[in-house]
Amino acid sequence: MVTGQIRQSLSGFYDVDVDGETYRTRARGNFRNSNQAPLVGDWVDFKAENKKEGYILSIHERENSLIRPPVANIDEAIVVTSCVEPAFSSNLLDRQLIMLESHHVRPVLYFSKGDLIPEGKVTELSDIIEAYGKIYPTFFPFGENEDDVVKSLQDTFPGKIAVVMGQTGAGKSTLLNKIMPELELQTAEISKALHRGKHTTRKVTLMPIAGGLIADTPGFSSFDLFDMSKEELPKLFPELNELSVGCKFRGCLHIKEPKCAVKAALEQGEILESRYKNYLQFNQLIVDQKPNYKK
């Protein structure tokens, strides 16, 4: 029996790395029976007669895991967010961020296509990006500073497993090609008719880049399920959670309660109004959500 890490999954096959050697494996049927499937990033025990016919026997305990993208044991997630084409959406960005927070994955924000922002929108979007930068590590290449910003982002990689995620067409593969041109990842133009990207990433792979491992994964455009309680939700907004110590009532949800530090900060312009509006919407979605008895 050998221990290694899954570096790629494709059509039911799992490529496992053992000290730089790759073994192609499949999962035993007992995983399907137990409703458990191996994920890229998992540490597994397997047997292999040769490098092409191995079988995974067990999966080590995970630090964390995501469904979209389907990766385990992640240290950080680089959330690639387009400023335009597709248009910037604070709602989609905040959905991604609370999902990562709920799975204990450190978000790192990268705002793409800054050079395409219409002149009249530059100040507005720059102010929004600056506000996010007070909450999360944030990288915004604009004009001639792109190479320096990408280099600074690259400095967060060594020793970490990261996922690159974001809306379809936001420029995930383009970013990875800038960091490591020899990858030559396929990229695609935005469909003008549908205003959404063409899917270019067909498999999940952990790629060695800049001293770390990064997964380039399929894009997505929405999250429908909020898998947390309304009491847990405000703790997933770091700035709300930090302010909550000043609220009069313990467990304040920052909606109707009197003497709420979050609402006071909102009135003073100390937190993003769009973030608070998204919080209210997410709270209502959780309240209206039907119970999931399969959990």
Instruction: Find the CATH number of the domain harbouring 237.
Output: 1.10.40.50
Residues 245 and 273 in one domain: yes
Q: Does 222 count as an annotated binding residue?
A: no
pLDDT score recorded for residue 11: 85
pLDDT in tens, 251-290: 999 999 999 999 999 999 999 999 999 999 999 999 998 7
45: helix, strand or coil:
strand
Q: Does 112 count as an annotated binding residue?
A: yes
Q: Does 58 count as an annotated binding residue?
A: no
Percent of the chain at pLDDT > 90 equals 61
Beta bridge partners of 14: 9, 25
Q: Does 166 count as an annotated binding residue?
A: yes
CATH number where 83 lies = 3.40.50.300
Q: Compute the distance between CA of residue 190 and CA of residue 188 in angstroms, rounded to an integer.
A: 7
Mean pLDDT for all residues in the chain: 86
pLDDT band for position 81 (cuts 50, 70, 90): very high
Q: What is the mean pLDDT of residues 94-116?
A: 93
- Strand 138-139 and strand 106-112: the pairing is parallel
Q: Is residue 222 part of a domain?
A: no
Q: Is residue 33 part of a domain?
A: yes
pLDDT band for position 196 (cuts 50, 70, 90): very low
Q: Is residue 81 part of a domain?
A: yes
Q: Does 247 count as an annotated binding residue?
A: yes
Q: Is residue 27 part of a domain?
A: yes
Residues present in the chain in total? 295
CATH number where 49 lies = 2.40.50.140
The domain total for the chain is 3
Q: Is residue 69 part of a domain?
A: no
Residues 100 and 204 in one domain: yes
Q: Which of 290, 141, 163 is nearest to 219 (CA)?
A: 163
Q: Is residue 71 part of a domain?
A: no
Q: Does 115 count as an annotated binding residue?
A: yes
- Burial-class residue 274 by CB neighbours within 10 Å (0-12, 13-18, 19+): middle
In which residue are the tokens 């399969």 written?
Answer: 294
Domain boundary among 216, 250, 267: 216
Residues 9 and 140 in one domain: no
Residues 156 and 38 in one domain: no
Q: Does 168 count as an annotated binding residue?
A: yes
Q: Is the pLDDT of residue 92 over 70?
A: yes
Residues 90 and 209 in one domain: yes
Q: Does 174 count as an annotated binding residue?
A: yes
Residues 102 and 175 in one domain: yes
Residues 19 and 140 in one domain: no
Q: Is residue 226 part of a domain?
A: no
Q: Does 259 count as an annotated binding residue?
A: no
Residues 200 and 257 in one domain: no
pLDDT score recorded for residue 208: 87
pLDDT in tens, 158-187: 999 998 888 878 888 788 888 877 666 655
Residues 54 and 137 in one domain: no
Q: Does 104 count as an annotated binding residue?
A: no
pLDDT score recorded for residue 287: 92
pLDDT in tens, 51-63: 999 999 999 999 9
255 is in which domain, residue-wise? Answer: 233-288
Among 12-16, 200-204, 213-217, whose mean pLDDT is lowest? 200-204
Q: Does 260 count as an annotated binding residue?
A: yes
